[in-house]
Amino acid sequence: MQSVILSCGDELTSGATLDTNSAWLSQHLADRGIEVLRHETVGDSEELIAESISRATGVAELLIITGGLGPTRDDLTRQALARAMGATLEEDPQSLQQIATWFTARDRVMTASNRMQALVPKGASAIENHCGTAPGLSAIVGRCQVYVLPGPPHEMIDMFTRSVCPHLATAGLIARRVIHTFGAGESHIGEVLGDLMARGRNPRVGTTASGGLVSVRILAHGGRTEVAQALADADEQEVRTRLGDLVFGGDDETMALVLGRQLQAARQSVAVAESCTGGMIGEMLTAIAGSSEYFLGGVVAYANQAKTELLGVSKELLAAHGAVSEPVAQAMAEGARTRFRSDWALSVTGIAGPGGGSADKPVGLVYIGLAGPDGYSMVHKSSFPGSRQQIRLRAALAAMNHLRLAMKKS
């Protein structure tokens, strides 16, 4: 089955809002073996949306539209669908009652404009919205099944999961794997996995770079469940073998989750001393339920005075080397370990930018300190590209990754 995803709204075409719906839908359609031919984004124009619908229904068997179902004059998707179908709009009593009930349940007054949301093209049917006021729409245009879903992501996801996904045919039996890596770029991963990523191969293997990570996706098709699973398992094992320590987890696992499991298994603890990351490592670790078993605490020592008073970094060391240096990173990690009496301690100090860099210490320079049992002490120097936020995120991930690898080797 081939599909098209159409996103509607001036907020999307103007760049004011990022279209996350298309990416989410593509992933979930791919999980069912449904090929997405293209993404298309159209502003709030009945004529342009209708043209896009006609074009998509001429080439695809499935069209999913998001956005333009609200109660205001610039919400024109239902009118555009009616135009593409050559149909009139009719008020759907059940949808009108559901909208009225939504307002009553929240002790709010339903306005006259909300009544427009109950209009359905003749020949189409409404889809109940369990999270908002805008019903979705289902229609057949030519040989194409069309679903129209609300624009707000939480409403779209709920409606797709409840009312669309159960009706989608699965193109063969599918097994899916995701393998997360850190420490190498997407081009390097692509070179290592080269032959596995050949077009037309089953399983289909691809990579995605996001948030400092590179994820490897495996999608296997088979006539029987066990065939698809076996194909996916074989490729997953091959990917993990080729990439080795670059792999830290799979599927929904995060770096913090994986590291936390290691610490729990070893019955060890960690503390952090953060400068340029500003508490980001601590936030990631404590986002995991049960992290109090292994995370003892952290210090955000941004100013030199805080490094001295809270972590015991000497003024002489700071004066001789500067805050962004190997000796200071080492002293921060050892100071945190001493004060929290933890098995391990991580420290991060660097220049996140966009200003503050120099020829000797450019923006992106980061030192990561690691102190551990039996006098273990190590500092890693890195140069991270990107914006201030990207540098901070990559530094936080790198710090946790260094501890992951150190524990693996210990």
As a whole number, mean pLDDT of residues 25-46 equals: 91
CA–CA distances in Å: residue 400 to residues 29, 69, 281, 394: 33, 44, 8, 10
Q: What are phi and psi of 324, to 5 degrees?
A: -95, 90
User: 3-state class of 363 per DSSP?
Assistant: coil
**Strands of 247-250's sheet, edge to edge?**
204-210, 213-222, 173-181, 247-250
Give the pLDDT confidence score for residue 407 in this predicted structure: 97
Sorted by sequence, the CB contacts under 8 Å of residue 269 that are 6+ apart come out as: 263, 294, 295, 296, 340, 342, 343, 344
Give the pLDDT confidence score for residue 32 in this predicted structure: 81
Give the pLDDT confidence score for residue 329 in this predicted structure: 98
Sorted by sequence, the CB contacts under 8 Å of residue 261 that are 6+ apart come out as: none
255-409 is a CATH 3.40.50.1980 domain: no
Give the pLDDT confidence score for residue 385 in this predicted structure: 93
Give the pLDDT confidence score for residue 322 in this predicted structure: 97
Give the pLDDT confidence score for residue 387 in this predicted structure: 95
Give the pLDDT confidence score for residue 174 in this predicted structure: 78
As a whole number, mean pLDDT of residues 141-159 equals: 96
Are both 173-250 and 255-409 of the same fold? no
Give the pLDDT confidence score for residue 222 in this predicted structure: 81
Q: In the predicted model, is pLDDT for residue 404 greater than 90?
A: yes
Displacement of CA 4 from its chain's centroid (Å): 22
Q: In the predicted model, is pLDDT for residue 187 greater than 70?
A: yes
Of the pLDDT bands very low, low, confident and very high (cuts 50, 70, 90), residue 170 is low
Of the pLDDT bands very low, low, confident and very high (cuts 50, 70, 90), residue 153 is very high
Q: Which CATH number fits the domain 173-250, given the four candidates 3.30.360.10, 2.40.160.20, 3.40.830.10, 3.30.70.2860?
A: 3.30.70.2860
CA–CA distances in Å: residue 378 to residues 10, 194, 354: 52, 34, 28
Q: What are phi and psi of 402, to 5 degrees?
A: -60, -40
Instruction: Say how many Å lie between the first and final Cα of the chain, rounded.
Output: 50
Of the pLDDT bands very low, low, confident and very high (cuts 50, 70, 90), residue 250 is very high
**82-132 pLDDT, tens per residue?**
999 999 999 999 999 999 999 999 999 999 999 999 999 999 999 999 999
Give the pLDDT confidence score for residue 172 in this predicted structure: 60
Give the pLDDT confidence score for residue 171 in this predicted structure: 57
- The domain locations on the chain are 2-167, 173-250, 255-409
As a whole number, mean pLDDT of residues 68-85 equals: 95
What is the share, in percent, of the chain residues with pLDDT greater than 90?
Answer: 91
* 130, 162 Cβ separation under 8 angstroms: yes
Q: Specify the CATH superfamily of domain 2-167.
A: MoaB/Mog-like domain (3.40.980.10)
**Preceding peptide of 71 cis, ω within 30°:** no
Give the pLDDT confidence score for residue 82 in this predicted structure: 97
Q: What are phi and psi of 17, to 5 degrees?
A: -130, 135
**306-361 pLDDT, tens per residue?**
999 999 999 999 999 999 999 999 999 999 999 999 999 999 999 999 999 999 99
d(CA 41, CA 133): 23
Q: In the predicted model, is pLDDT for residue 224 greater than 70?
A: yes
Give the pLDDT confidence score for residue 41 in this predicted structure: 98
As a whole number, mean pLDDT of residues 74-82 equals: 96
Task: State the DSSP H helix or E strand holding residue 211, giving kind and residue range, or none if neither.
Answer: none
As a whole number, mean pLDDT of residues 211-221 equals: 92
